Structure 1
Amino acid sequence: MTEAIKTTAVDQARLEEFFGRAVTDAGAAVTVPLAVVGARLGLFAAMSVEEDLTAEQLANRAGLAERYVREWLLAMALSGYVTYAGGGSGGAEPKRTARYRLSPEQATAFTDPESPGYVVGLFQSAAAATRMVDRLTEVFSTGSGIDWHEHHDDMFEATEKLFRPVYLANLTSSWIPSLTGVEERLLRGARVADVGCGFGSSTIIMAEAYPNSTFVGVDYHAPSIATARERAEAASVGERITFRTAGAADLDGSYDFISFFDCLHDMPDPSAALRAARRALAPEGRVMLVEPMSWDTVEETLRNPMARSSAGASLLVCLPSGLSRSPGLGLGNQAGVAPVLRLAEEAGFTGARLATSSEANIIYELAP
């Protein structure tokens, strides 16, 4: 193979085009963590919409060093994350006098955690995932995995920031209504289990929407469960939610509705989790699987632009988690529809179907 590479003629124009794409990708790669720094330091929040600010003015407002803020503004403007408003072409120090602003869209993307367009969680999770590159290099050779709890603390916070706006936009408005009889049961009063609940965003959203129902949130990551309890109390729904530190396969009791939000594909033994859900499900109950959008063939995957970030995240986070313990099924977030439906049927569900979908998710309904 090496000799073939050496002797094959190179199309210079195609090579230059390829190199240009690589430079663009590298620019995005270094900009993402810098945007996270800006969000963490309150720089985006300190920029009022459509108000022009110099680096010095923004630095004073945020209580930061002007020289770093000046370079940060330039980097953000080059990626279109802030808007250059002029003033940087004349005078003795043009970059010091340059002014920047946020458009309404930029402000929403970086400062409104309720918006489906909020990108801070996406960026923070990407930056956190790359902290595992050394470990990932090792497991490529060993075939072992990296457990969820081994990630940097930023990953757990970022995951909540990433998914919560999506759940706010879709969970009670379209996902639950697409399931057979579930919304009616929740409105009357049902017992619900939320498996892999993390910080509890999905559980709390459901508890707020369905005040006659009670909820149990389970997650094996104890620090996340502690945060979930705090969030539930702050939202005044703590009396109707019980959060437990437990694995998905440890689910017990009887439930009218069981949900898995963006977590089944991360589990080393998703089959055991689905079997536990089947045992715990009431006779007329339903299970909802919320899974990342994925496709069954390579050709379908290559045609979808959002698959690129999903496949990268799968390799950095989801697949290593799925290989971290026995039996290490290793679904990854690009498993496709057919394998998920097959797992559900093998776990004993007689009815497994696609209920609905959104831009980033597939919603499965499983019936006993």
Structure 2
Amino acid sequence: MTTPDTTSVGEAVGTVFGDLGVNCTAPLVVLGDRLGLFRTLAGAGPLTSAELADRTGLVERYVREWLRGVAVAGYLGYDPATDRFTLTDAYAVVLADDAAPTSLIGVFPGLQALWADLDHVEEFFRTGGGMGWGDHHPALGAAQERFTRPAYVHGLIAEWIPAAAGIVAKLDAGAAVADVGCGQGLSSILIAQRWPKSRVTGFDPDDASIAHARSAAARAGLDSRVAFEVADAAAYPGGGYDLITFTDSPHDMGDPRGAAAHARATLAEEGTVLVVEPLAADRFEDDFANPYARVGYAISTLVCTPSSLARPGAAALGAMAGEARLREVLTAAGFTRIRRIAEDSAPVNIVLEARP
């Protein structure tokens, strides 16, 4: 190991210290969300710490320090002449509006789960094995549901499913839908709400996720049209499905090829399989230009790869598998017509349509 030059060391320190700052800011973002600070700042124009504290009913001294921490992170504007802070409209649709397609605020609370489960993942590096979604800290599932909601509302429902040839007419008339790897049921419920004549069944191997999904469907008044069952992706019951969706789930499965083959076997004639997966390059070196890749590989290491290695098959496809590997999985399962029908603008997801 040679002694690096001073410039290289300075650059390394700057990069790592910058990342340390990012990580230290994350709890402040969570506090801003929990305490309603971002929502109060949104559209309010410039505010002093005292004005923000008064509007939120919080202690001014804490609010002042929070404002300064979030401002130096670049999330707030600051006017030293008036000592006022501003949340711009651009940042508001990222941090203060869960319904916006650009919302990212739902991700931050899930970071608690990544730290909480770190000891387990460390041990997997030494011994192998893994842990399913249901074994993680509960903050992970809640964050996943909240983060994906705007993407599914504005993407899955409004654009991705409609982009599949002929499927909207079937859904409008009343189709049978299987949502495989449905997690806490968000995608299943959204499909049922949008197409009330169709019946949706969500399948997931995690008991707690299915229990949550059933409760959510009941609260939405959809339990007569949306069913949830604990089942493996390669062995769920039923058949004749007009649409089978895999929403961010194949990379978590132990046997994604088996899941794809089972989908092929349970698909109705001229049925459609829709696969939503994180957007990744086919060559790793090309992912350095992908703004999502840093998040994707981190989550894949801490959550998705352990999930797959905990399941029979242990394929460990990885969240950043890329389109070519996804096509290989689908082709091996007997699908001959595969096309890329969508990609969201973030960019975070890629959407493939597959037919036999």
Mapping for residues 104-183 of structure 1, pairs under 5 Å: 104-183=89-168
Equivalents in 1 of 2:92, 2:339: separation in Å? 39
Aligned residue number for residue 29 of structure 2: 35
Per the alignment, in what secondary structure is the counterpart of residue 239 of structure 1? coil
Aligned residue number for residue 349 of structure 2: 361
Match of 1:280 among 262, 266, 269: 266
Match of 2:210 among 225, 240, 252: 225
Aligned residue number for residue 23 of structure 1: 17
Greater shift in the superposed pair: 224-233 or 75-84? 224-233
Given that 2:174 and 2:197 are in contact with CA atoms closer than 8 Å, whether structure 1 keeps it comes out as yes
Match of 2:170 among 179, 185, 188: 185
| Alpha-carbon shift at residue 219 of structure 1 (Å) | 2.0
Per the alignment, in what secondary structure is the counterpart of residue 244 of structure 2? strand
Measured against aligned partners, the alpha-carbon deviations of 1:339-366 in whole angstroms (never above 9, x if no partner) come to 2212222223233332332221111122
Per the alignment, in what secondary structure is the counterpart of residue 250 of structure 1? coil
| Alpha-carbon shift at residue 112 of structure 1 (Å) | 1.1
Q: 1:329 to 1:75 in 2, by over 3 A?
A: same
Number of residue-to-residue matches in the alignment: 353
Given that 2:160 and 2:342 are in contact with CA atoms closer than 8 Å, whether structure 1 keeps it comes out as yes
Asked if 1:310 corresponds to 2:332, the answer is no
Per the alignment, in what secondary structure is the counterpart of residue 234 of structure 2? helix
Equivalents in 1 of 2:42, 2:154: separation in Å? 25
Instruction: Specify the code of the residue in structure 1 equivalent to 2:31.
Output: V
Given that 2:42 and 2:96 are in contact with CA atoms closer than 8 Å, whether structure 1 keeps it comes out as no
Given that 1:126 and 1:313 are in contact with CA atoms closer than 8 Å, whether structure 2 keeps it comes out as no
Aligned residue number for residue 336 of structure 1: 322
Aligned residue number for residue 338 of structure 2: 352
Match of 1:200 among 182, 185, 203: 185
Per the alignment, in what secondary structure is the counterpart of residue 218 of structure 1? strand
Q: Which ranges of structure 2 fall in alignment gaps of 5 or more residues?
A: none
Aligned residue number for residue 93 of structure 1: none
User: Please, what is the CA RMSD of the aligned residues?
Assistant: 2.1
Equivalents in 2 of 1:107, 1:357: separation in Å? 24
Greater shift in the superposed pair: 286-295 or 213-222? 213-222
| Alpha-carbon shift at residue 325 of structure 1 (Å) | 2.8
Aligned residue number for residue 211 of structure 1: 196
Equivalents in 2 of 1:210, 1:326: separation in Å? 34
Equivalents in 1 of 2:213, 2:57: separation in Å? 32
Given that 2:187 and 2:247 are in contact with CA atoms closer than 8 Å, whether structure 1 keeps it comes out as yes
Instruction: Specify the code of the residue in structure 1 equivalent to 2:299.
Output: A
TM-score under structure 1 normalisation? 0.89
Aligned residue number for residue 94 of structure 1: none
| Alpha-carbon shift at residue 56 of structure 1 (Å) | 4.0
Per the alignment, in what secondary structure is the counterpart of residue 229 of structure 2? strand
Equivalents in 1 of 2:38, 2:215: separation in Å? 27
Aligned residue number for residue 49 of structure 2: 55
Equivalents in 1 of 2:212, 2:116: separation in Å? 23
Given that 1:55 and 1:66 are in contact with CA atoms closer than 8 Å, whether structure 2 keeps it comes out as yes
Instruction: Specify the code of the residue in structure 2 equivalent to 1:241.
Output: V
| Alpha-carbon shift at residue 48 of structure 1 (Å) | 4.7
Measured against aligned partners, the alpha-carbon deviations of 1:239-297 in whole angstroms (never above 9, x if no partner) come to 32112232322321121110010011011222222222122111211111101001111
Equivalents in 1 of 2:112, 2:27: separation in Å? 6
Greater shift in the superposed pair: 100-109 or 60-69? 60-69
| Alpha-carbon shift at residue 330 of structure 1 (Å) | 0.6
Instruction: Specify the code of the residue in structure 1 equivalent to 2:65.
Output: E
Q: Which ranges of structure 1 fall in alignment gaps of 5 or more residues?
A: 89-97
Aligned residue number for residue 95 of structure 1: none
Measured against aligned partners, the alpha-carbon deviations of 1:53-73 in whole angstroms (never above 9, x if no partner) come to 333443444344433332222
Equivalents in 1 of 2:117, 2:35: separation in Å? 24
Match of 2:237 among 239, 243, 252: 252
